Amino acid sequence: MRKLTQILLTTMSSRLGLVFILLILYWFKSIAAYFLNFNLDIQLGNMQGFYQLALAILNPLPLGLLLLGLPFYAKPTKVYYPLLAIMYLVLFSWLFSNVIYYREFSDFITLNTMLASSSVSAGLGDAAAKLFRPFDLLYLLDIPLIVYLFWKKKVTFDDRPLSFNASFAITSLSTMLFSANLFFAEVDRPELLSRGFSNYYVVRALGLPAFFGYSANQTYQADKERAKASETDLEPVLEYIKEHNAEPNPATFGIAKGRNVIYLHLESFQQFLIDYKLKSDNQEYEVTPFINSLYHSNESFAFSNIFNQVKAGKTSDAETMIESGLFGLNQGSFMVNYGGTNTQQAAPHILTQTGDYTSAVFHGNIGSFWNRNTTYKQWGYNYFLDQSYMSKATSENSFQYGLNDKIMFKDSIKYLEHMQQPFYVKYLTVSNHYPYTTSLIGDEQGFPLAETKDETINGYFATANYLDSAIKSFFDYLKETGLYENSVIVLYGDHYGISNSRNPSLAPLLDKNPETWSSYDNAMLQRIPYIVVVPGMQDGAVIDTYGGQIDMLPTLEHLLGINSSNFLQVGQDLLSPDHEQIVAFRSSNYFVTPEYTSYSGRTYYTATGEEITTPDDSTQKAIDEARDKANKQLSISDMIQTGDLLRFYSENRLGKPDVSTINYNKAMDQLLKIEKEKGQTSSSLFSQRQSSTIDLFDSPTYKALHPEQFLEDSDSSSSSSSSQEEAEE
Ligand code: GP9
Ligand code: MN
């Protein structure tokens, strides 16, 4: 032992040795933070999990070495040691601040958060002391110890500098290691840095110092655009909004006024699933019987020609469109790059301002994915009930994108029932997400797999079928509790589930020939369902108007009786007689109209799919006109988004949400407090019924699908809520 101590002290008494020890210390602390403080969502059930684990374990080393190695260039002892101390302290404080910050925000510190002089950082200042845990002392211990060792001369200063070449070798080595790290990170998750996904993906793959660089670059790019923009840029925007305005349809304007709004985000759900029957063993299986019944119901406006308009931001792009009526970006995700900083006037805020709505999102995944936890505040969401509010995720009840949908729906009830009405809530489902894991979901119900050469396609129908029954169980609950009559329920698909490259393998299932599969067919498969259920309505129909996700917000606003003409939203009410049927895809020159489809550089007649190779003058003119309009819509949206133009716009007096009043922790306490304060006037379902509705979720359908849960519940006489409360702890 004594010998070991001696070796350690001697090592630390050389410049190289000290750096080595500091690097090891930083490495250990990082790993401790990764696994004890952060949730990096590494699931060890498969190869990818082990790969991610290896990346996480190794990633503190390259940049740690780079930074601790830089002082080597300083030769005088008096300069070298202070520089080394600074480097170590920088690395350490960055790590430690993140540990503290993560406790409150479940996310990492970005340059933006640091720069924001807003209440967010001020609030943290107050809270930081409270967030400190005794265990954190372990992170700090080495610093006084090292100081002590130098003070007592147990470790001595080394006056022999490293040569320039040796210092350079260390810099080169660490840079090479970092390049390798970057390469392996891209292998795990292609387009990791360009698409953004989620901050924890970057930390998991590249570590905290790299995450800082990444977030600084994001801030720099966004600020550059923002700084260029000025109030005069609003002029063309306002002109467009005015010209493009589609008057509400008097027959439907306000028919859902004052009702609760429940959005059901159908993950990766394409229109072709509607009414689809999968053939297996000479039998036909209807994939989504319940959603089909909604599609054909007299209570629904169901649309058959609505296209997804997302790009790299996928789900986040869909959310951006339905919430704010503006497109995502041409590159990367709007929510990741601008969501936390731009002035936005999104649906939750609009509804609070115009109708005193309470708003919430339910999502079985980690809250920081797609930067939701920050963006949702700017959108004015009062509550964000993410995975941390639901059953503990295990390999049995979840996969990499979160809890299975049925569990998410069931776990949402205990919060939903305490929400003041009217509410605007959104459920983000995940189970029907690539890779369409049938082992968990399909087998449970025994829905057959398709029989193509492509595993991804084969599972897609079974997971969609699972989603369908999850949706049904939720509708059963709504009907059982009476929430149904008082709500408008909107279902939409967010984007394709089967990518274009796989479409030829899908072709036979759609009775198409893979040999003649074309860009036109790819374009048509971008259709997604959009179903607006207005309970009590008699004259619902399947409507064949062409439109896109950008049109969903104005459509909803008009149904709720809110005139959207002075909102900076670039879509149009799909029910308006003025609706122009030009659908822009999120790539210039890609569009669909009822006449023409332009996709991947080719143009077709939409009705027949026949390619237009030598158009006559009038056809060419019509195509050009549609293309220009589609491009214009995108460019106006981009001006608003990248120039942060809403900050200059005050005409509609909507203002923006006060994010300092929004806190996503302790949602239940907040809900109960409001309920109590309101007393007799509380409009939550719980207050109205004077009892919990959690048990009503266990509808007959639910029971049939989850016999195992039922055995458990009947064992314990207390309601299912208490067992979930335990699971949360
Ligand atoms: C994750 C989920 C998936 O939280 O929303 O996003 P996607 O991969 O579909 O964009
Ligand atoms: Mn998605």
Q: What would the pLDDT profile of 595-621 be if each residue is shown by its tens digit? A: 999 998 899 999 999 999 999 999 999
Q: Which residue has the CA at smallest separation from atom 3 of ligand 1?
A: 315
Delimit the domains of the chain by residue range. 2-226, 235-495+521-659
Strands 260-266 and 423-428: what pairing? parallel
Average pLDDT rounded to a whole number, residues 377-381 = 98
By percentage, how much of the chain surpasses pLDDT 90? 80
Annotated binding site for substrate: 433
Query: Looking at 219, 288, 315, 358, which residue is catalytic?
Result: 315
* Cα 197 to averaged position of ligand 1 atoms, centre (Å): 8
Q: Torsions phi, psi of 540, nearest 5?
A: -65, 165
Q: Given the CA of residue 401, which atom of ligand 1 is nearest to it?
A: 1
User: pTM higher than 0.85, yes or no?
Assistant: no
CB within 8 Å of 682: residues ≥ 6 apart = 420, 674, 675
| pLDDT higher at 547 or 720 | 547
How far apart are alpha carbons 303 and 301 in whole angstroms?
Answer: 7
| Choice from 268, 336, 365 to test ligand 1 binding pocket (greatest atom count within 8 A of CB) | 365
With b meaning 16 or more CB within 10 Å and e meaning fewer, what string describes 340-375? Answer: bbbbbbbbbbbbbbebebbbbbbbbbbbbbbbbbbb
Q: From start to end of 585-721, where are the E strands?
A: 591-592, 596-599, 602-605
Instruction: Let me know: does 226 contact 238? Beta carbons within 8 Å.
Output: no
| Choice from 264, 329, 335, 370 to test ligand 1 binding pocket (greatest atom count within 8 A of CB) | 370
Quote the pLDDT of residue 718: 34
| pLDDT higher at 118 or 23 | 23
User: 169: which 2 tokens?
Assistant: 């070798």
Nearest Cα neighbor of 452 from 278, 268, 285 is: 278
Least confident among 218-227, 426-435, 677-686: 218-227
Q: Which residue has the CA at smallest separation from atom 1 of ligand 1?
A: 401
Average pLDDT rounded to a whole number, residues 374-403 = 94
Q: Above 60 in pLDDT, residue 127? A: no
Q: Above 50 in pLDDT, residue 248? A: yes
Q: Assess whether the previous peptide bond of 236 is cis (omega < 30° from 0).
A: no
pLDDT band at 305 (very low <50, low <70, confident <90, very high): very high
User: 678: which 2 tokens?
Assistant: 């309101």
Q: Above 80 in pLDDT, residue 444? A: no
User: 700: which 2 tokens?
Assistant: 């007959």
Torsion 505-507-508-509 (CA) sign: positive
* Radius of gyration of the chain measured on its C-alpha atoms: 28
Quote the pLDDT of residue 705: 54
Instruction: Let me know: does 357 contact 128? Beta carbons within 8 Å.
Output: no
The C-alpha angle with vertex 373 and arms to 370 and 375, in degrees rounded to 5, equals: 75
Quote the pLDDT of residue 78: 96
How far apart are alpha carbons 442 and 460 in whole angstroms?
Answer: 9
Architecture of the domain spanning 235-495+521-659: 3-Layer(aba) Sandwich (3.40)
Q: From start to end of 353-437, where are the E strands?
A: 358-363, 383-385, 398-399, 402-403, 423-428
Quick count: other Cβ atoms within 10 Å of Cβ 577?
11
| pLDDT higher at 448 or 105 | 448
Quote the pLDDT of residue 715: 37
Which residues sit opposite 369 in a β-bridge?
198
Q: Which residue has the CA at smallest separation from atom 7 of ligand 1?
A: 315
Q: Which residue has the CA at smallest separation from atom 9 of ligand 1?
A: 315
Quote the pLDDT of residue 43: 80
User: 672: which 2 tokens?
Assistant: 């109960």
User: 454: which 2 tokens?
Assistant: 């492509």
Taking CB atoms and a 6 Å cutoff, what residues make up the pocket around ligand 1?
Answer: 314-315, 365, 369, 401, 428, 430, 433
Quote the pLDDT of residue 704: 59
Strands 358-363 and 383-385: what pairing? parallel
CA 366 to chain CA mean position, Å: 9
The ligand placed nearest to the CA atom of residue 401 is: 1
Q: How far apart are the first and last CA of the chain?
A: 42
| Choice from 267, 320, 404 to test ligand 1 binding pocket (greatest atom count within 8 A of CB) | 267
* Cα 665 to averaged position of ligand 1 atoms, centre (Å): 22
Q: Which residue has the CA at smallest separation from atom 6 of ligand 1?
A: 315
Average pLDDT rounded to a whole number, residues 33-42 = 90
- 459 CB burial (10 A radius; 0-12, 13-18, 19+): buried
Quote the pLDDT of residue 102: 85
How far apart are alpha carbons 416 and 693 in whole angstroms?
Answer: 10
| pLDDT higher at 260 or 312 | 260
Least confident among 134-138, 227-231, 257-261: 134-138
* Cα 429 to averaged position of ligand 2 atoms, centre (Å): 9
Q: Above 90 in pLDDT, residue 540? A: yes
Quote the pLDDT of residue 413: 98
Quote the pLDDT of residue 441: 56
pLDDT band at 46 (very low <50, low <70, confident <90, very high): confident
Q: Above 80 in pLDDT, residue 237? A: yes
Annotated binding site: 267, 315, 433, 494-495
Average pLDDT rounded to a whole number, residues 658-667 = 95
Q: Above 90 in pLDDT, residue 400? A: no
Quote the pLDDT of residue 699: 55
Quote the pLDDT of residue 728: 26
Which residues sit opposite 55 in a β-bridge?
none
The C-alpha angle with vertex 328 and arms to 327 and 329, in degrees rounded to 5, equals: 115
User: 177: which 2 tokens?
Assistant: 């290691």
Q: Above 90 in pLDDT, residue 105? A: no
How far apart are alpha carbons 497 and 447 in whole angstroms?
Answer: 18
Distances (CA, A) of 205 to 190, 201, 400, 711: 12, 6, 15, 42
User: 142: which 2 tokens?
Assistant: 């080495």
Residues present in the chain in total:
729
Least confident among 36-50, 95-109, 114-128, 414-428: 114-128
- What is the average pLDDT value for the chain, to the nearest integer? 91
Instruction: Let me know: does 494 contact 271? Beta carbons within 8 Å.
Output: no
Q: Is 315 a catalytic residue?
A: yes
Which residues sit opposite 366 in a β-bridge?
none
* Cα 433 to averaged position of ligand 2 atoms, centre (Å): 7
Quote the pLDDT of residue 665: 94
Q: Above 90 in pLDDT, residue 23? A: yes
List pLDDT tens digits, range 196-214.
Answer: 777 889 999 999 999 999 9
User: 686: which 2 tokens?
Assistant: 């719980």
Instruction: Let me know: does 458 contact 452? Beta carbons within 8 Å.
Output: yes
Average pLDDT rounded to a whole number, residues 279-304 = 97
> Could you tell me where the DSSP H helices lie in 13-46?
15-32
Q: Given the CA of residue 366, which atom of ligand 1 is nearest to it?
A: 4
CB within 8 Å of 476: residues ≥ 6 apart = 699, 700, 701, 702
